[in-house]
Amino acid sequence: MTETWRLLRTGAMDAASNMALDEAVLSLNKGKKEGTLRFYSWEPKAISIGYFQGINEEVDIRKCEELGVDVVRRITGGGAVYHDDELTYSVIVDERHPNISNNILESYDYLCKGIVNGLERLGIDSEFKPINDIITGGKKISGNAQTRRMGSVLQHGTILRTVDVRTMFDLLLVPDEKIRDKMISAVEERVTSISDMLGEKVQDDRILEAMVEGFSEGLGVKLEPGEPTSEEWEMMKTIRSEKYGTREWNFKR
Amino acid sequence: MEQENGISKGSSVYKVPEGKLIKVWLEVEVPGNILVDIKLTGDFFIHPEEWIASLENELKGMSMDDIPGKIIEQAEKDDVQLVGIGTEDIIHAIKLAFESTGS
């Protein structure tokens, strides 16, 4: 019998709330056989940096404040991401789930099948490219990051609807100002989006629908729409105020 | 090279071939080459993540010569999974940062 996983659509929230909800669901996942798939977006726009990144090495904090862009440190490793016009997802599932490999790269490959299948439904051929990207026509269209704690896996990632490399570079620090334009061109060559690939702006709902079907097929599970529990919301608020909303956490490296 | 009160500061940025970026910032006491402070940052993955802070703490106060062995020992002891980098890359990046102090 096909397993049923919970599907959450939590819409747009600020960066600290988004990261806190992912962690709350992860923290309360212990003992659950079925996983959770969550889709969300960011309001205001935000930069998230990887667990190990130095915030002052990567982010132009003053510029982010000036433009009202949130900055948050993730619980997952990986690089800095500018969350603008994208669909963000997270998967939370028991580490001992039969489909989750102990090998991290293999588990990325498995969980990324959801996105690859979803993109296929939109008419975009793509593939998982280790370490943690999904590429189409040689360009990156999705970045993903994973952590494992308390016996569960959390993988979250972005699926770009459009991409604005220039604004991203306004908010991130570049090692050398003289080569800023060159770096922008180089990244523009390496990154694409759903809209770029299809030559039209695709409606959010259409992308979401394709991704829900894609994940269901790719992961081999049924997805049942649900809501975060009141316990998860309460824990989200606590984690938000004690961690992702604090300078101590965001500036810890 | 930056030097004050017998402390040399160094840094490096190392892109692992086919992998991620490691940035190292460190302070070394001279003479003696004792690591006083170190920060390892970058876009790599280590599971569990908290290992990096405990490694940095373990390395502080050690002679630079003993650092490579200590990193390998800690990674094995703590059974960490590194993704996008290896212990040899951390060692290499630290070596580059140390060389940049001119010690």
The CATH number given to whatever domain includes residue A48 is 3.30.930.10
B57 vs chain A: nearest CA distance in angstroms? 14
How do residues A89-122 score in pLDDT, each as one tens digit?
A: 999 999 999 999 999 999 999 999 999 999 999 9
Cβ atoms of residues A155 and A37 within 8 Å: no
Domain that includes residue B68, residue range: 2-100
Domain that includes residue A167, residue range: 4-245
Domain count, chain A: 1
Domain count, chain B: 1
The whole-angstrom separation of Cα A68 and Cα A15 is 12
Under an 8 A CB cutoff, do B83 and A175 touch?
A: no
Pairing of strands A36-42, A4-13: parallel
Residue A208's nearest CA partner among A87, A123, A100, A90 is: A87
Cβ atoms of residues A76 and A48 within 8 Å: no
A205 vs chain B: nearest CA distance in angstroms? 32
Query: Within a domain: residue A251?
Result: no
Q: Using an 8 Å CB-CB cutoff, list chain B residues near A145.
A: 45
CATH of the domain at B68: 3.30.390.50
Q: Using an 8 Å CB-CB cutoff, list chain A residues near B43.
A: 50, 52-53, 77-80
How do residues A210-238 score in pLDDT, each as one tens digit?
A: 999 999 999 999 999 999 999 999 999 99
For tokens 């790599």, what's the residue?
Answer: B44
Under an 8 A CB cutoff, do B39 and A131 touch?
A: no
How do residues B47-96 score in pLDDT, each as one tens digit?
A: 999 999 999 999 999 999 999 999 999 999 999 999 999 999 999 999 99
Residue type, A16: A
The whole-angstrom separation of Cα A137 and Cα B61 is 49
Query: Within a domain: residue A32?
Result: yes
Under an 8 A CB cutoff, do A76 and B41 touch?
A: no
Whether A253 and chain B come into contact, CB under 8 Å, resolves to yes
CA angle A87, A91, A93 (to 5 degrees): 175
Residue ranges of A 126-145 with Cβ closer than 8 A to chain B = 131-132, 145
Measured between CA atoms, the residue of chain A closest to residue B52 is A52
DSSP assignment of A25-47 equals HHHT-TT-SS-EEEEEEESS-EE
- The arithmetic mean of pLDDT across residues A133-160, rounded, is 97
ipTM: 0.94
